[in-house]
């Protein structure tokens, strides 16, 4: 009875953070589905510019629904106290994205990819600088193989536009 009473007095116990994450993914996915409708889908033989974004958006909707439906309250009093969230990961990912945009414009694909992965990897407290360097170097190889050789994208490896 006391557990039920504690749950009813706090909204965090009834709505775990996984539920909010799933709902956010669902809303972003639905927004992307709506936006992708303005692009031509094409066919499977000749895909249009809206085909890939539409598929990814629908996958995001499905994942958001799955996370929302499987979110459960753990029944602990963890939600009764408010704590300051650890923002290291969020700040590192945001800084990595900003570095990618800036370096992608002026330095090319490889420096931008390296900076994105290296800075973002440092957001995890368990990663060392060496492991972040190795991960960033491996992702640069993947970026060259996928974007430069396989897809033949017009994104210079070094040097901006």
Range of the domain at 22: 2-80
The structure tokens 């414009």 sit at 105
Q: If we measure between CA atoms, which residue out of 123, 118, 125, 124 comes closest to residue 99?
A: 118
> 72 and 102 share a domain?
no
**Biggest alpha carbon–alpha carbon distance for the chain:** 66
Going by C-alpha positions, the residue among 94, 119, 106, 120 that lies closest to residue 158 is: 106
Query: Among 57, 80, 103, which residue terminates a domain?
Result: 80
Q: Are 60 and 23 in the same domain? A: yes
Same domain, residue pair 92 and 76: no
- Among 134, 141, 97, 151, which residue's Cα sits nearest to residue 119? 97
pTM listed for this prediction = 0.56
Q: What is the pLDDT along the chain (161 residues), one digit of tens a residue?
A: 444 444 443 444 556 778 888 889 999 999 999 988 888 888 888 888 888 888 999 999 999 899 888 877 555 545 455 566 778 888 999 999 999 999 998 999 999 999 999 999 999 989 999 999 999 999 999 999 988 888 888 888 888 66
- The DSSP annotation for 135-152 comes to HHHHHHHHHIIIIIIIS-
**CB of 16 closer than 8 Å to CB of 74:** yes
């Amino acid at each position: 009875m006391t557990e039920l009473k504690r749950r009813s007095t706090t909204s965090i116990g009834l709505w775990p953070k996984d539920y909010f994450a799933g709902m956010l993914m669902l809303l972003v996915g639905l927004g992307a589905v709506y936006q992708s409708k303005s692009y031509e889908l094409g066919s499977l033989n000749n895909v249009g510019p809206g085909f890939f974004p539409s598929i990814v958006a629908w996958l995001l909707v499905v994942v958001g629904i799955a996370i929302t439906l499987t979110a459960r309250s753990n029944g602990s009093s963890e939600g009764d106290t408010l704590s300051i969230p650890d923002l290291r990961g969020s700040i590192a990912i945001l800084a990595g994205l900003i570095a990618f945009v800036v370096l992608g414009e002026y330095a090319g694909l490889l420096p931008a990819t390296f900076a994105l992965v290296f800075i973002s990897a440092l957001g995890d407290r368990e990663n060392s600088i060496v492991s972040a360097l190795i991960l960033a170097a491996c992702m640069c190889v993947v970026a060259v193989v996928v974007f430069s050789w396989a897809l033949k994208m017009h994104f210079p490896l070094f040097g901006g536009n």
